Structures are given as C-alpha cells and as structure tokens.
C-alpha cells in the first residue's frame, strides 16, 4: 500500500513517454488527483509498509508528502493550460519526466533506510534534468549541465556521509537495520566521531541540493531556465525533499545528544545562505532568478530554525510548508508574466496591475506572503524562529538574521514594484487565462487558512516530527 504511492506515478510516467500530448496532459492531471487521494489515505490510515526495512510512514515524511501531492495536483492543472499556450518540443518527454519526478520525490518522503533515501534523492536529480532542458537553448543546456554535475557530486558526498554513519554503527558495535527510525532509538550507542563526520558530509551533500550557500550556484540557473511549472515543482517541493534528508539525520544527532554540534553547523549554513541571498537579490535583472534567490533565503531560514531547535524547529516546519505553497504560486505567476510579456528581464515588464490584473493579485499577495507579512504563515514561522533564537541567547546571529531579512525585503519590494506599476511602453502578447490563475489562488488561500486555523491532526503531526529536537511549545 505505502509503496504503491510512488509506484503508480512511476508507471504512468513511463506510459506518458509513449502517448500523444493531449492524452499525456489528461494523464498528468489524473495521476495528480489519484496521488492526492492516496496521500490523504496514508495520512488517515498510517499503514505499515510492505518492506518495513526500507520504507516507513513518518510524521515529517507525511507532511512533505501531503505538500508534494497538493502542489503537484494544482500545478498539473496549470500545466495543461501552459502546455497549450507555450510551444514545447517533445511534450511527452516533459509530461513523462514530470510524473517520474513526482514518483521519485514521493519515494524520498516514504524512505526510511538511509541508503534508499540517497537513491531516491539522486533519482530526483535525474528525473528533473530533462525538465530543465525543455527549451533546448544554449542557456538551458548550461543550466542542466551545472545542475546535474553539481548536484551529483554534492549528493555523492552525502553517500559518503551515509557510509560514515553505517561505520559509526560498526565502531559502536550496534546491529540494527540502517533505517532512520531504528538509528534514532539506538543513537546513544553510535560512535560519536563517525556520526559527526557523517552528519557534516550529509549536510554538505543534501545541502547542495537544498540550495544552501555556498553550494547554491546551480539553483538560480536551473530555476530560471526551466519552464515555470517545473520551476514551481523544483522550488516548492524538491528543496523540501533534500531538506528531509538533513532533518532526519539531525534527529539522529539530537537523539545521540549531539544536537548542539549539528545545530551550530545548521545555523551557520543557514545564516550564510540568508546573507548570500541578501547580497545577490539586490542586483537581479530577471524576475525568475529573483524568485530563485528568495528560495535560497527561505531555505537558509529553515536551516537556521532547525539549527536552533525547540520552538525554532517548529517555526522552521511552518516556514517549510508555507514556503512551498507561496513560492510555487509565485513561480506559476512568473510563467504567466513570461508568456504575456515574452521577456525574462524585469526591465521588459511593467504595469502588471493594469495589464494582467488577475495574475497581479496572485503575484503581489505571494510577494507579501514570502517576505513575511502577516497574515501569511511565513510571518508566524519567522517570529517563532526569532523568539527561539532570543531565548537561547544567539543575539549576534539573530541580529544578522533580522538585518538580512530587511535587506531582502527592500530589494525584493523594489523589483516587484517595478514589475507591477512601472510605466513603460511594453505590450501584452498573450492575454492571461483564468485557468492559469486559480491554482495560484488555491495555493495562497491554503496558506492563508493554515495561518489562522491549523487542524488538530496537522498540528499533532508537526509536533511529533519536531519532538526529538525539543520542538513545540
């Protein structure tokens, strides 16, 4: 039952390579709907896996799975309209890769074995590479090359880290399955030196994929060159999958009593990422790259919060969920803008508010949400992280954190104002369609609702996920 959730999209993905485009679009939405239904069933039933050594339903996995499922369903609806408007060569490769990408990401969320997790994360790189190369241009080729090479090398380091963790079991004389859940139980018997080494390698490895600075260089290129629905998936859920690997290892570290060590490193990487985003966001000239740097910022915030632990970890998980919802809707809007103006540069846009009013509403509220304005969820997440940082006495770090957030907000706001209101002589080539706007509205509304009302089952799952890190209130 559990394994079927990722086997189903894998099968439909393979089918999609061989069927005509119109049928492929239908299959995309259909698989999205079935996947969403299956994820909801997993959430309610929480069944045992057929191969419990390799797969398990964990609270953090379920959270990511539900986000992936919801996002993919809404993005697939957008994609059908996008594919009709945009001219994409070999569309069956695009839809097939989208479905395989969904399958591999689902596998990441459900894997419990440390090596199976690695296999799944590397598979996400391979499945998403054709998506980035969709436009077949020289720039997209460069972006794909960078993406595949940097991520593969980075993830190879994570494999080495995983081997070190099995080594820490050998040296510590522990004999249990190499799964995160069983490792958490016996964490105190593991050899601390090799466990620490393993954590550092895993953080650098999966951190490359998550977009933590200074390993983030592939991210702006890949996000800007991929077609917008693919960028939305990359930013909204792929980064979460890589984070899941770090999160689970961090849980083992906390259980082993090494939470301070892993926390300090996570906070450092997080802060460096936020600072890097603050430096680069000011001088961006393309709006998709702008959004990509904002993703780096948010991943930095999440790593920072996880590093602090306690209330911070709870805030980080909130940020993770809301970032997925809001950032994917922003990337979908950027697709509308690109189709409408036919220009990637911020200078080539302008007066979005008048020319594409529906897209403008989604884009602008997405911007407000992502920069941490109430009433969107990122505000609450960031507030918790800042409170936790003050409680634990990280005054210098939190000072830098708040300062960078202000700089990023200022830079982001300047660009968004230009896009929305600047009076330039640009014209619209393709009018916006309502089917390409309401998935964004649905995503933003979900974020808004979750901000005021978190269902009890969702709250409990988040608290369970961060319990080992001393999370919750």
Partner 1 sequence: MIHPVDTLLALVLLSVLISFGSSRLPTLIKALAFQGVVVSIVPFFMGHNLTVGGVIFTLVTMVIRGIGIPLCIYLAIKKVAIKREVEPIIGYNASLLAGLLLIVAAAFVSPKFNLPQTSVHALLLPTAITLLVAGMFLLMARRNAIAMVLGYIMMENGIYVVGTSFSMRAHHIVEFGILLDVLAGVMIMAIILQNIKQTFDDVDTAHLRTLKE
Q: Binding segment for partner 1 among 15-23, 148-156, 240-248, 427-435 (CB under 8 A)?
A: 148-156
Does 126 engage in binding with partner 1 (CB under 8 A)?
A: yes
Does 148 engage in binding with partner 1 (CB under 8 A)?
A: yes
- Do residues 287 and 432 make contact, with C-beta atoms less than 8 angstroms apart? no
Residue 137: which residues within 8 A CB-CB, separation 6 or more?
Answer: 225
d(CA 440, CA 232): 11
Compute the C-alpha angle 242/247/248, nearest 5°: 105
Closest CA to 270 of 241, 235, 308: 308
Q: How far is the CB of 391 from partner 1 (least distance, A)?
A: 36
Name residues contacting partner 1, limited to 276-315 (CB under 8 A): 280, 283
Q: How far is the CB of 30 from partner 1 (least distance, A)?
A: 27
Residue 418: which residues within 8 A CB-CB, separation 6 or more?
Answer: 346, 347, 349, 350
Q: Which of 221, 297, 382, 432 binds partner 1 (CB under 8 A)?
A: 221
Does 139 engage in binding with partner 1 (CB under 8 A)?
A: yes
Does 156 engage in binding with partner 1 (CB under 8 A)?
A: yes
Does 145 engage in binding with partner 1 (CB under 8 A)?
A: yes
Residue 362 bridge partners (DSSP)? none
Q: Total number of residues binding partner 1 (CB under 8 A)?
A: 41
Closest CA to 27 of 98, 117, 114, 110: 98
Closest CA to 197 of 167, 152, 156: 167
Does 116 engage in binding with partner 1 (CB under 8 A)?
A: yes
Does 146 engage in binding with partner 1 (CB under 8 A)?
A: yes
Q: Which of 159, 237, 313, 388 binds partner 1 (CB under 8 A)?
A: 159
Closer CB to partner 1, residue 157 or residue 378?
Answer: 157
Three-state secondary structure call for residue 453: coil
Does 115 engage in binding with partner 1 (CB under 8 A)?
A: yes
Closer CB to partner 1, residue 230 or residue 313?
Answer: 230
Hey, what are 206's tokens?
């999966």
Q: Which of 29, 178, 383, 430 binds partner 1 (CB under 8 A)?
A: 178
Q: Which of 153, 396, 410, 435 binds partner 1 (CB under 8 A)?
A: 153
Closer CB to partner 1, residue 116 or residue 237?
Answer: 116
Does 182 engage in binding with partner 1 (CB under 8 A)?
A: no
Q: How far is the CB of 113 from partner 1 (least distance, A)?
A: 7
Residue 55 bridge partners (DSSP)? 111
Q: Binding segment for partner 1 among 22-30, 126-134, 325-333, 426-434 (CB under 8 A)?
A: 126-134
CA distances from 183 to 107, 176, 197 (A): 20, 7, 16
- Do residues 346 and 287 make contact, with C-beta atoms less than 8 angstroms apart? yes
Distance of CA 177 to the CA centre of its chain: 28
Residue 147 bridge partners (DSSP)? none
String of DSSP letters for 185-211: HTGGGS-HHHHHHHHHHHHHHHHHHHT
Q: How far is the CB of 112 from partner 1 (least distance, A)?
A: 12
Tell me the backbone φ, ψ of residue 286, rounded to 5 degrees: -115, 140
Closer CB to partner 1, residue 118 or residue 384?
Answer: 118
Q: Which of 19, 29, 141, 353 binds partner 1 (CB under 8 A)?
A: 141
- Do residues 237 and 124 make contact, with C-beta atoms less than 8 angstroms apart? no
Strand (E) or helix (H) holding 240: helix 239-255
Q: Binding segment for partner 1 among 65-73, 219-227, 252-260, 454-462 (CB under 8 A)?
A: 219-227
Distance of CA 245 to the CA centre of its chain: 12
String of DSSP letters for 296-326: HHHHHHHHHHHHH-THHHHHHHHHHHHHHHH
Q: Binding segment for partner 1 among 73-81, 142-150, 310-318, 341-349 (CB under 8 A)?
A: 142-150
Binding flags for partner 1, 349-388, as an x/- string (CB under 8 A): ----------------------------------------
Q: How far is the CB of 164 from partner 1 (least distance, A)?
A: 8
Contact residues toward partner 1 (CB under 8 A) are: 53-54, 113, 115-116, 118-119, 122-123, 125-126, 129, 133, 138-139, 141-146, 148-149, 152-153, 156, 159-160, 163, 166-167, 169-171, 178, 220-221, 224-225, 280, 283
């Amino acid at each position: 039952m559990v394994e079927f959730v990722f086997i189903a999209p894998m099968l439909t993905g393979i089918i999609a390579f061989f069927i005509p485009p119109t049928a492929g679009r239908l299959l995309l939405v259909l698989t999205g709907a079935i996947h969403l239904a299956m994820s909801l069933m997993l959430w309610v039933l929480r069944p045992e896996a057929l191969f419990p050594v390799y797969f398990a339903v964990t609270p953090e996995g379920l959270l990511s799975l539900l986000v992936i499922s919801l996002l993919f369903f809404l993005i697939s609806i957008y994609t059908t309209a996008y594919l009709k408007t945009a001219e994409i060569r070999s569309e069956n490769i695009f839809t097939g890769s989208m479905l395989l990408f969904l399958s591999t990401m689902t596998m990441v969320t459900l894997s419990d074995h440390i090596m199976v997790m690695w296999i799944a994360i590397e598979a996400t790189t391979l499945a998403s590479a054709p998506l980035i190369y969709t436009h077949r241009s020289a720039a997209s080729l460069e972006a794909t090359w960078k993406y595949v090479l940097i991520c593969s090398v980075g993830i190879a380091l994570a494999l080495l880290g995983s081997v070190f963790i099995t080594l820490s079991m050998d040296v510590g004389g522990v004999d249990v399955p190499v799964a995160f859940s069983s490792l958490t139980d016996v964490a105190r018997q593991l050899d601390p030196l090799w466990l620490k080494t393993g954590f550092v390698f895993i953080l650098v490895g999966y951190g490359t994929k998550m977009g933590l600075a200074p390993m983030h260089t592939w991210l702006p290129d890949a996000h800007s060159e991929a077609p917008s629905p693919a960028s939305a998936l990359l930013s909204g859920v792929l980064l979460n999958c890589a984070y899941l690997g770090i999160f689970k290892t961090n849980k083992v570290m906390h259980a082993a009593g090494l939470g301070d060590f892993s926390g300090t490193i996570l906070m450092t990487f997080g802060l460096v990422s936020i600072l890097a985003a603050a430096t680069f966001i000011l001088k961006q000239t393309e709006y998709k790259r702008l959004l990509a740097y904002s993703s780096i910022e948010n991943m930095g915030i999440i790593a920072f919060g996880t590093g602090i632990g306690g209330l911070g970890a709870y805030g980080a998980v909130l940020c993770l969920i809301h970032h997925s919802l809001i950032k994917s809707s922003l990337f979908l809007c950027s697709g509308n803008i690109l189709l409408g103006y036919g220009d990637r540069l911020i200078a080539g846009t302008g007066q979005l508010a008048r020319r594409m009013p529906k897209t403008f509403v989604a884009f602008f509220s997405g911007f407000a949400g992502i920069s941490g304005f109430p009433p969107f969820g990122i505000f609450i997440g960031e507030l918790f992280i800042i409170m936790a940082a003050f409680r634990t006495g990280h005054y210098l770090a939190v000072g830098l954190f708040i300062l960078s957030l202000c700089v990023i907000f200022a830079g982001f706001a300047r660009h968004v104002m230009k896009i929305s209101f600047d009076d330039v002589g640009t014209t619209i080539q393709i009018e916006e369609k309502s089917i390409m706007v309401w998935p964004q509205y649905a995503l933003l509304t979900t974020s808004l609702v979750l901000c005021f009302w978190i269902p009890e089952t969702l709250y409990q799952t988040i608290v369970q996920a961060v319990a080992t890190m001393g999370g919750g209130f």
